[in-house]
Chain A
Amino acid sequence: QKEVEQNSGPLSVPEGAIASLNCTYSDRGSQSFFWYRQYSGKSPELIMFIYSNGDKEDGRFTAQLNKASQYVSLLIRDSQPSDSATYLCAVNQARGSTLGRLYFGRGTQLTVWP
């Protein structure tokens, strides 16, 4: 059974702070890692993906991957109230693309208060 675990939250941070979201996975064969954002009542939206160990930055978002520790994280800098959502971590066995099922965590609910 391939497990993806996320800190359950909810996570609450003030506007302008850094929000840190964490995820661990059980399958060492996982090659691709994704972060989706889901607003209440809406569908998941892909915001970051990472394939290699280290950091990947895109605007205010940074994804971090450590395959040895089977750990992936998402940092949101200068958090805004519009970042308030549930963040879903997902993993896949294909590298460089997405083929087959994604394994999702249960999500971490983030609230950014003004």
Chain B
Amino acid sequence: NAGVMQNPRHLVRRRGQEARLRCSPMKGHSHVYWYRQLPEEGLKFMVYLQKENIIDESGMPKERFSAEFPKEGPSILRIQQVVRGDSAAYFCASSAGTDPGYTFGSGTRLTVV
């Protein structure tokens, strides 16, 4: 079992560009979560998805951010027109819904220059 796979590991974008972060959940997991972690801060929830459905997006900024988990392929977190404040580590986690806790991916470190 390959675990939760995130790519890229590191992503550098200039202000105003788009960032696309990908997450493939563990085999058998249909629940995907995205969290953001700023330096010296805890994990902040962004969005919870199941296949083709957004279940809870209460942590997503209202503008520029979107997420999807299509029937086929990885979950995508998309950030349009990035600003320096978007620089952070973005973690994806998955679960089967019946297990305790989540399994986190290794994260994508986004740097906006």
A residues at B contact (CB < 8 Å):
32, 34, 36, 42-46, 49, 88, 90, 96-107
Contact = CB atoms under 8 A, between A and B. Distances in A.
12 contacts: A43-B91, A43-B104, A44-B104, A46-B103, A90-B101, A98-B102, A101-B33, A101-B58, A102-B45, A105-B42, A106-B41, A107-B42
Interface string B12-39: 0000000000000000000101010000
A36 B31 CA distance: 19
B1 interface: no
Contact of B100 (A43, A45, A49, A101): A49
Task: Tell me the interface secondary structure of chain A in the complex.
Answer: loop
A46 B42 contact: no
B43 interface: yes
A104 B45 CA distance: 9
